Amino acid sequence: VMHLPMICDEKGIPYLYAPKAEIGAAAGLEVNCASAAIIEEGKAKDLVAEIIEKIKELRK
């Protein structure tokens, strides 16, 4: 997964680092997870936009 930040930077995709346990829990898994992606926002479009803005603020 070490290549993912470089790909995201090239494509202009926001990303952040988080502990594996938190990624797994956020994805609804009972195990750790190395990475996760939002493919379709669905009804959470406003929440995803808010998260993206927060990521941009943190990366400044």
Q: Is 43 helix (H, G, I), strand (E, B) or coil?
A: helix
Whether the pLDDT of residue 1 is over 90: the answer is no
Q: What is the pLDDT of residues 17-39, one digit of tens each?
A: 999 999 999 999 999 999 999 99
- In contact, 34 and 1? CB cutoff 8 Å: yes
CB 1 within 8 A of CB 35: yes
pTM: 0.77
Residue by residue, DSSP assigns 17-53 as: ---HHHHHHHTT-SS--S----S--GGGHHHHHHHHH
